[in-house]
Structure 1
Amino acid sequence: MPAARTSRQPRRRTATLLASLLLASSCAWAQAAAPLGERLAEIREINRFTPERALPMLLRIETEARAGSVEDAGEMLAQLCVAYQKVGKQELALATCDELIAFGRAHQNNAALAKGLVRKGYIKYDRNELSASHELIWEAERLANTTDDVELRVRVGVSAAESFAEEGNFPRALEKMQATLAYTRQHGGPVHLVIVLNSLARLYRQMREYDKGFEALAEALVAAEKTDSPGRLATLKSTEYGLAVESGQLERALKAQTAALALERQIGAHALAARSLVNLSDCYLRMRDYAHAASYANQAIAAASAINDENGLATARVNLGQAYLATGRLAEGKRSFEAGLAAYEKNGDKPELQTVLAEYGSALERAGDYAGAVQAYHRERSLSNELFEKRRQKAMLELREKYDADKKQRQIVLLERENQVKSVEIDNRRLQQRVWWLLVVVFALASLVVGLLYRKVRHANAQLYLKNQELKQQSVRDPLTGLYNRRHFQDFMRGHRVDEKRGAGTSGEAMVSALFLMDVDHFKHINDTWGHGAGDAVLIRIAESLREILRETDMIVRWGGEEFLAFLPAIPASGLDEVARRLLNGISETSIEFQGTTLSVNVSIGFAPYPLAPAGKPLPWERAVNLVDMALYMAKGHGRNRAYGVRGFANFGRTSMEEVEQNLEQAWRAGFVDLSIVTGGYPELRASA
């Protein structure tokens, strides 16, 4: 079954809270006897897990702190920003960060300035502004390293490493994290060591090096014992849960997350407890224990609602929908799933929404609601196309910006050379006036300089031509598979004449063009089970198989994600089913070697001759591809590892193309569309060590 939804864990600042410290803090507050710096340190510990308790404490000492030292005032503003952000008051948090940044600059205090920058970076991260977040955090790291504040340097060092990991630069992230760990071993205490080792374990989890992650976690647990902190232990247990889940140790994951929940409830960390409840419902879904999964999902909904955690609430509702659908409670499951989807749509988290829609379709398919599954797949496909187009536009913009920057640099170089030439000419005139007998030598030198410059300009132009050719090649090819990309196919079809390849083959049979759209079955399961490296290996091998199965004259396109499109410019009209059968069986027979495991996969296919001409009027190529896409989803909905082909249309006096496009399957069953069905003869997914 597809993986359930796991609560998105906070990226940075794993919290710590000592139960005894909370009691001591309350007493100290009541007596107001401790120095301000000590009280701020106690509030900082409380703020990490229970910001709703810390916020009123901070507001009560705000006036006193502002009148105190630069260090105390800066720490008070930093903790106020933390509290506002964690209780959901984002605008107040951002305003406080800006105030702290201005405060640090006004007092030329790098520690206060670094605290303000890193806190603002966290807010930008929560708003999905990753580039801005990373730049702020890296600037904060540069400033923090000029101070002797161990707490600040450790936390900002960890955040800087995590920023590199978020950009996919794991070698740089690991280098940063290990440097921070070395600094912590030399200057920090047990609390700081727990922070760095916990983040290192999470980084190893991202890198899928689970053994190293468990090693770092074991050392962190030893250090946590010295802190006597239930909060630290709860955080480490949650990290253990993530490592155990992704390495397939579900019993260990369940035990770790249950322990974390007990510790979080012990110290009143409601936000972390809500996250743990979501994770427990996810774990039970993976174990197919749907009764417990539903129970914990309901508890998570109540907990997230109590603290206005919209993301946690959405995830819990999706998990509850998974549990209900798996136990046959179709109507309740769909309501819960749709409520979760609505929350993701409201938040504008489209990549997460696409993933949830795919899981929704799979869950409905397993529950027997094939019509609902097809609708979910269509929604997912529409969103996928939208995201693909945005990514394409972003890539083109980045290429354009790079080209403009290179062009500007070349113009600067040429302008500098031009100025040099003008300077030489001015010097020549002066020499001409003073020493007439040097005139010939001066002209000779000037000619030599101009010749060299001319040769350099020609060389620069040649290099520019080569770069332009390289960019042109990159713009039409998919970098992973080497196949044509979607943009190239679209450009080709805009200039393609429908009647270019009409005629008869050697056998006298009419020749047609054809479209074949293929989608890898259970591709998400491959990524979830063996990792994205296995998914890339599958896509590369399928691309190679398509080149072997089809002809050199056929255009093969990576349509997006795990979809491939083939355009056959000339094929006998009766040969479409045979091509579909060759594609199904040829890909099923393909073996993919990945890290000692042999994988085999299937595809589902939609196909049709091109052009399609209902009622004698040819459809535009975009609508033809859309109709083939609908046939593909029928193949998915009817069992996968098969091909559905649109052969023709009938009885258009009683229907229209628009009605056919609304529901292809219904039109087929009503006799308006003639479909060809080709089934594959191999199992859907195999793997062997």
Structure 2
Amino acid sequence: MRAVCVAAVLLCPLVAHGDEAQARRLRDIGAMARFVPDEASRRLRAMEWEMATAPAALRTDFLYHYSTAERGIGDLTHALTLADQLVTYGRRNHDNVALAKGLIGRANTLYLREELAASHATAFEAERVALTTDDIPTKVLATIAAGQSFQEEGNYPEALAKLHAAIDMARHVKDDAAPLASALHTLVQLYLNTGDFDKGWEAQREALAVARQMASPGYIATALGDEFALAVEQKAFARARHALFEELALERSIGARQMVATTLVNLSDCYLKEGRFREAQTYAAQALEAALDARSNNDVATARVNLGQALLGQGHLAEGKRQVEAGLATYEKQGDKPELLAVLREYGYALELAGDYKGAVDAYNRERKLSSEIFDEQRQKALMELQQKYEAENKQRRIDALRQENRATKAELDNRRLHQRIWWMLAIVFGLASVVVGLLYRKVRRANAELEEKNQQLKRQGALDPLTLLYNRRHFQEFMGRTGTERRAGGDGTVGALFLLDVDRFKDINDTLGHAAGDAVLKTVAHNLRLALRETDMIVRWGGEEFLVFVPAVARDGLDEVALRILHGISSHAAEHRGTRVPVSVSVGFAPFPVALGGTALTWEQVVNLADMALYQAKARGRNCACGVLGFPDGAPATLEPIERDLEEAWRQGWVDLSVVPGDVEYSTAVRSRA
């Protein structure tokens, strides 16, 4: 979202001082920087020498527009250098308009460099500085940046308040509707994220009317892009395509090569969502050519992925997989793991529809591995942040202790002087000092108690998933790290077990009804799992639409019954979203824990991986069923490697004892079938 509006150019009226010809030329190029950044960059580069001696107001706008254009063509290092020059100039000359613009340029560039914490802090500082000025367009721009930062932090109420404030200010800008158009566009993006489509349409209609009144092809194209995004979320594909075709014509008319590539990618994606693979192939090929011409690596990667999916949809497996893998390679090279994860999920789904089940399982396994890597990185980052917080608190405690020590030393010196002067005052001074120390001691004890209570609250909150209020993955890993290696099978024929669940066709629910419906489904699944399982069973939000259940004690021959209870507990209760019932089912993979292979007990991580492989076997059998690895008969390999390579083949070889529990049978019959 922010990539579209991060470079919004709110043209500030240039002062009448200096060369009017320079001012007009700079104003025209500044209007171009957002939509045709390559041409704007070339022209601004040619003006660099003459701008070195230009009046202060012209120099400020030159640096701001130049940073915007460089950011648009992807030269983030140069864009950041130009923004920092403007920040330095503003601080040195006490020019808050220049300082605010420099901070906005810096915040937007840091965002594209994925330095989100620094970007948000800079945006909030830019807003504080801008609000001290009388320059309304700069105030609007800074308030938009602050609203975007709150949105990226997930603080939607504060983001909404900021964007409405920006719109109110923009309505008072005379002779320039660009600030209002930019603020309305950002508001549409917020409503898209929150799923409030009615208000999104209202803001989009006003943005389009403002853009048409401006007669600006770039702003009209931006508003049409918002229309596409809203329409495709609500499955109004005909309207979405109509908006894209009109947008594409406008972008081509102004030579906006980057925007053309992105719009062609959106067209191919729209046809993919409709299942019209031939048209999707046509526009994906055009998008690839346009993206290569614009040197837009992200659009190149997405175009290749869309082209590959279109080919897969037409049964051209080899060429389709080649194109998708080429797109994936670009995401891997860029280190864009979240985007790579989403593409792998879509890739596996496309391969499954094309009948390439082995390829689909491979894609799902790659997705699973990458998901674990992302989680490990996030956990390491969280640990580092906690360590930094601990060190800061420890440092502050040492400072407080030194201050207290200094106060005590000063009190002792004062006491000595008083003793030398007036001996009978010693008792009074000693008594006062004792009272002060006692008060300080009680204050420190109270502060330590409050700190301990807050730490316990944070620890409890850190163990729960905020959406479902189930335990999160980190808590489960810590729990198994403390107790997992100590578990043994019970002498009474009981074992523990791990059940891995995946919500069936969750992507279709998100694509059809929106992410708010997806959240409602996840919360419903969590609620029904609590009803179906015992209080002693641990239920974990494993990630995305996946859940993990750890049953600490169950009869060895009762695993199928637990799986059936889970299947019926989920499928018998539909989710509710805006008055619509959303049917829900899950696929389940399970395995006992502990379990041994070749006389060696498997770790809990290996058992989870077995359950994961069994889960994909359940998906391959049509979903809404469970598949479990119950054990390893005599003659099984001594290691897991050949079994992990292909579970289906391992079963055929007689290396694993596999159980399949269909989800469409009556619970009371507890049907169990051997695979």
Asked if these proteins are the same fold (TM beyond 0.5), I'd say yes
Q: Does 1:668 align with 2:651?
A: yes
Match of 1:322 among 309, 320, 330: 309
Residue type of the partner of 2:151?
A
- Residue 498 of structure 1 contacts residue 611 of structure 1 at CA under 8 Å; is this kept in 2? no
SS of 2:360's equivalent in the other structure is helix
Map of 2:87 onto structure 1 = 101
Equivalents in 2 of 1:671, 1:468: separation in Å? 52
Map of 2:5 onto structure 1 = 11
Q: Does 1:40 align with 2:30?
A: no
Q: How many residues align?
A: 657
SS of 1:10's equivalent in the other structure is helix
The offset of 1:374, in angstroms, is 0.4
Map of 1:361 onto structure 2 = 348
Map of 1:52 onto structure 2 = 38
Equivalents in 2 of 1:51, 1:488: separation in Å? 47
CA 1:641–1:16 in structure 2 vs 1: closer, same or farther (change >3 Å)?
A: same
Residue type of the partner of 1:270?
R
Map of 1:87 onto structure 2 = 73
- Residue 488 of structure 2 contacts residue 594 of structure 2 at CA under 8 Å; is this kept in 1? no
Equivalents in 2 of 1:499, 1:187: separation in Å? 69
Map of 2:327 onto structure 1 = 340
Map of 2:582 onto structure 1 = 599
The offset of 1:407, in angstroms, is 4.2
Map of 2:503 onto structure 1 = 520
SS of 2:623's equivalent in the other structure is coil
Equivalents in 1 of 2:298, 2:648: separation in Å? 36
The offset of 1:287, in angstroms, is 2.3
549-558 vs 312-321, greater mean Cα deviation: 549-558
- Residue 251 of structure 2 contacts residue 260 of structure 2 at CA under 8 Å; is this kept in 1? yes
The offset of 1:300, in angstroms, is 0.7
1:460-499 matches, within 5 Å, as 460-494=447-481, 495-496=483-484
1:269-418 matches, within 5 Å, as 269-418=256-405
Equivalents in 1 of 2:198, 2:520: separation in Å? 24
The offset of 1:294, in angstroms, is 1.5
The offset of 1:629, in angstroms, is 1.4
Map of 2:224 onto structure 1 = 237
Equivalents in 2 of 1:264, 1:97: separation in Å? 27
Post-superposition, which runs of at least 4 consecutive aligned residues in structure 1 deviate over 6 A?
none
Equivalents in 2 of 1:637, 1:450: separation in Å? 72
CA-based RMSD of the aligned residues comes to: 2.7
153-162 vs 384-393, greater mean Cα deviation: 153-162
Equivalents in 2 of 1:668, 1:653: separation in Å? 10
Map of 1:639 onto structure 2 = 622
The offset of 1:628, in angstroms, is 1.7
The offset of 1:646, in angstroms, is 1.1
99-108 vs 260-269, greater mean Cα deviation: 99-108
Match of 2:148 among 162, 169, 182: 162
SS of 1:551's equivalent in the other structure is coil
The offset of 1:412, in angstroms, is 4.3
TM-score w.r.t. length of structure 1: 0.88
- Choose between structure 1 and 2 for higher RCO, CA contacts under 8 A separated by at least 6 residues: 1
CA 1:597–1:445 in structure 2 vs 1: closer, same or farther (change >3 Å)?
A: same
The offset of 1:177, in angstroms, is 1.6
The offset of 1:484, in angstroms, is 3.4
1:112-261 matches, within 5 Å, as 112-188=98-174, 189-261=176-248
- Residue 33 of structure 2 contacts residue 68 of structure 2 at CA under 8 Å; is this kept in 1? yes
Q: 1:107-165: per-residue Cα shift (whole Å, max 9, x none)?
A: 44333333333223222222211222222333333333344444433333322222221
Equivalents in 2 of 1:154, 1:427: separation in Å? 58
SS of 2:286's equivalent in the other structure is helix
The offset of 1:288, in angstroms, is 2.3
SS of 2:239's equivalent in the other structure is helix
- Residue 120 of structure 1 contacts residue 133 of structure 1 at CA under 8 Å; is this kept in 2? yes
- Residue 554 of structure 1 contacts residue 567 of structure 1 at CA under 8 Å; is this kept in 2? yes
The offset of 1:497, in angstroms, is 5.4
Equivalents in 2 of 1:198, 1:133: separation in Å? 20
The offset of 1:400, in angstroms, is 3.5
CA 1:263–1:478 in structure 2 vs 1: closer, same or farther (change >3 Å)?
A: closer
Q: 1:189-247: per-residue Cα shift (whole Å, max 9, x none)?
A: 32332222222222222222222222222223332333222222122111211122223
TM-score w.r.t. length of structure 2: 0.90
- Residue 10 of structure 2 contacts residue 179 of structure 2 at CA under 8 Å; is this kept in 1? no
Map of 2:669 onto structure 1 = none
Structure 1 residues without counterparts, runs of 5 or longer: 1-6, 18-32, 505-509, 684-689
Residue type of the partner of 1:169?
N
Map of 2:15 onto structure 1 = none
Map of 1:435 onto structure 2 = 422
The offset of 1:678, in angstroms, is 0.7
- Residue 9 of structure 2 contacts residue 178 of structure 2 at CA under 8 Å; is this kept in 1? no
SS of 2:552's equivalent in the other structure is strand
Equivalents in 1 of 2:148, 2:475: separation in Å? 37
Equivalents in 1 of 2:101, 2:127: separation in Å? 10
Equivalents in 1 of 2:524, 2:214: separation in Å? 52
Equivalents in 2 of 1:283, 1:682: separation in Å? 38
- Residue 157 of structure 1 contacts residue 176 of structure 1 at CA under 8 Å; is this kept in 2? yes
- Residue 588 of structure 1 contacts residue 682 of structure 1 at CA under 8 Å; is this kept in 2? no
Identity %: 51
Equivalents in 1 of 2:311, 2:110: separation in Å? 36
Residue type of the partner of 2:371?
S
Residue type of the partner of 1:53?
E
Equivalents in 2 of 1:79, 1:177: separation in Å? 23
CA 1:457–1:121 in structure 2 vs 1: closer, same or farther (change >3 Å)?
A: closer
630-639 vs 526-535, greater mean Cα deviation: 526-535
- Residue 127 of structure 2 contacts residue 146 of structure 2 at CA under 8 Å; is this kept in 1? yes
Residue type of the partner of 2:594?
P
SS of 1:187's equivalent in the other structure is coil
Q: Does 1:579 align with 2:567?
A: no
Q: Does 1:681 align with 2:661?
A: no
- Residue 14 of structure 1 contacts residue 235 of structure 1 at CA under 8 Å; is this kept in 2? no
Map of 1:610 onto structure 2 = 593
The offset of 1:663, in angstroms, is 1.4
The offset of 1:565, in angstroms, is 2.3
SS of 1:49's equivalent in the other structure is coil
